[in-house]
Amino acid sequence: MGRIGGRRWVFVGVAVLLMSVGPSAASGQIAVGMNGSISDIRGGTFGVAGRVAVVALTADEWRFALEGVAQVFFPPCDNVDCDLVGVELNLLGERQLGGRFSAYLGAGVIYEDAKLQGDDLQVFDGDDWGLNLLVGNRLQANERIQPFLEVRLSLMQEQSNQFGFAAGIRVPLGGG
């Protein structure tokens, strides 16, 4: 595996910053979280992410939220240095299923920046935009912790489309 490059540390910093946001005037309408993910990028890539969601609208049995995600991937890079980072903005619709479970679906945009370099030769340096489609399930374990599982399809402009899974925790701030 290649070393962790400078751009990757910038995105780790953004993820930590996103996770440190406190409740706003709309107390209870913000949630933070983190997750691990597996994607089919380069034949199987592990990643970590920080996320922040802000509830935008509650209507009937649905809650709609905007969620920002900052992720860092650790692709199998063999003998080259590599960076693969991404940011997303998704609109999620969530509905309580009964009991302590809820399901959500969403769509949004994804931006990824990748760089591969080895033996003084730059192999690839570029970015790509795409469309995210996702579905997930969340458990209300207690008042403060909500584990979740998520399946995602990212339809990219230039790179191959990506399919992935994420598992993590979400923590509502201010009791929301």
Domain chopping of the chain, boundaries: 6-22+30-173
- Give the mean pLDDT of the chain: 81
In tens, the pLDDT along 101-150 reads 999 999 999 999 887 776 666 566 778 899 999 999 999 888 789 999 99
- Inter-CA distances, 88 with 36, 80, 137, Å: 15, 26, 19
- Residues above pLDDT 70, as percent of the chain: 75
Q: Cα(19)–Cα(79) distance, rounded to whole angstroms?
A: 33
Instruction: Provide the residue type at 58 as one letter.
Output: T
pLDDT at 87 (0 to 100): 95
Q: What would the CATH number be for the domain defined by 6-22+30-173?
A: 2.40.160.20
* pTM, 2 dp: 0.77
Query: Which whole number is the average pLDDT over 16-23?
Result: 47
